[in-house]
Structure 1
Amino acid sequence: MDKKTAKVIEKYSMPFVQLVIEKGEEDQIFADLSQIKQVAEETDLPSFLAQVAVDESDKEKTVGFFQDSVSPLMQNFIQVLIYNHRANLFYDIVVDCLSRLEKETNRFEVTISSAHPLTNEQKERLIPLIEKKMALKVRSIKEQFDESLIGGFVIFANHKTIDVSIKQQLKVVKENLK
């Protein structure tokens, strides 16, 4: 992404995030942005919006479909993007808004990779530990399974990692034996 495009994305995402915080609608907008991002990734929307051959009005209609399932504040934001012919940057703006909102509120989605599913009780016990060790608030937990971990888990949030897997412990032992 070039600097000019990054500036345009920032021009829309920064004031929107500030407005969301002022209005106290972080939880709803987190949910809206996360939902839009997930649907966009599942449907390969970024590729569609990036295609030069696709007419701008088709991109705007596609982006407009999201307005039916989001909060009024998000509806207005999408309308502003359509009005200003920024449908081609919609996905990038959504991702940037989500990132900025996480940083501004210090509330992050935490990904936990484990060899086996964690119970709700285990997740609840992990939340305070994650918040303390990573100096952040857990907004939500996303769980991934990785049988190569053997046991234990790996936690990712805000570009930080805590690895307490058996795989990592065996790797450390192996390195120490050299």
Structure 2
Amino acid sequence: MPNPRLAGRYAKSLIDLALEKGQLEEVYHDMLFLQQAFRSSKELVVMIKSPVIKADKKDKVLDAITAGKTSVITSTFTKLLLRKGREFFLPEIITAFIDQYKEYKGIHTVKLTTAIPVSEELKKSIVDKIKADKHLKDIELLTAVDESLIGGFVLEVGDELVDGSIAFDLKNIKKQFQNNDFIYKIR
């Protein structure tokens, strides 16, 4: 069962500790590493969330995965979660940490979905345009390809959505035909 409040509190505590120790960037990279490990292995997520597997076994598995790849702060933090029985929330805490880190650094995530892959030049021009229009300093551009768009793009900036796809236009035209908008205008 997700618990965003708990995840947020643990993430905030970890950020505060990393700032205090002057190792925020190091811990951030550790969290990215752990997030990738959890995303690439469904078995790891199942194991970490399993109430049947003992904490010491989970600790050994995490140590094997992170040995020499994460900082002392991160490994101590994961051991603390295991000792407190909160390892179930580790993937959620990692996501909360990354979100809070980006907020702290002023990094805004923008998602661009297109029907075909876009060039680096176009990506750069989109980022520059968003920076100018929205007065943002740092932007992280995530791109995705969705052939069902047929053409055009869908751009998500924060809670704003700009749908300039052909699929969206076709849906609007279909609605107009279903409502008989054209028949009433002809008469």
Q: Deviations over 1:135-167 (max 9, x none)?
A: 655553332111111122212354442222222
Q: Deviations over 1:25-64 (max 9, x none)?
A: 5555444323321220220132221111112112222233
Q: Of the candidates 38, 41, 48, which is equivalent to residue 40 of structure 1?
A: 38
Give me the whole-angstrom Cα distance separating, in 2, the residues matched to 1:140 and 1:25.
Answer: 22
After superposition, residues 21-100 of structure 1 pair within 5 angstroms as 27-44=25-42, 45-64=44-63, 65-82=65-82, 84-100=84-100
Q: CA RMSD in A?
A: 3.1
- Runs of 4+ that moved beyond 6 A: none
2:165 paired residue number:
165
1:105 paired residue number:
105
Equivalent pair of 2:59/2:79 in contact (CA under 8 Å): no
Give me the whole-angstrom Cα distance separating, in 2, the residues matched to 1:76 and 1:51.
Answer: 21
User: How high is the TM-score relative to the length of structure 2?
Assistant: 0.72
1:14 paired residue number:
12
**SS, match of residue 68 in structure 2:** helix
State the identity %. 22
User: How high is the TM-score relative to the length of structure 1?
Assistant: 0.75
Give me the whole-angstrom Cα distance separating, in 1, the residues matched to 2:21 and 2:126.
Answer: 31
Instruction: Give unmatched runs, 5+ long, in structure 2.
Output: 182-187
Give me the whole-angstrom Cα distance separating, in 1, the residues matched to 2:143 and 2:27.
Answer: 21
After superposition, residues 98-137 of structure 1 pair within 5 angstroms as 98-133=98-133, 136-137=136-137
Q: Rg larger in 1 or in 2?
A: 2
Change (3 A) 1:170 1:20: farther
Give me the whole-angstrom Cα distance separating, in 2, the residues matched to 1:23 and 1:59.
Answer: 27
Per the TM alignment, residue 72 of structure 1 is displaced from its structure 2 partner at its CA by 5.0
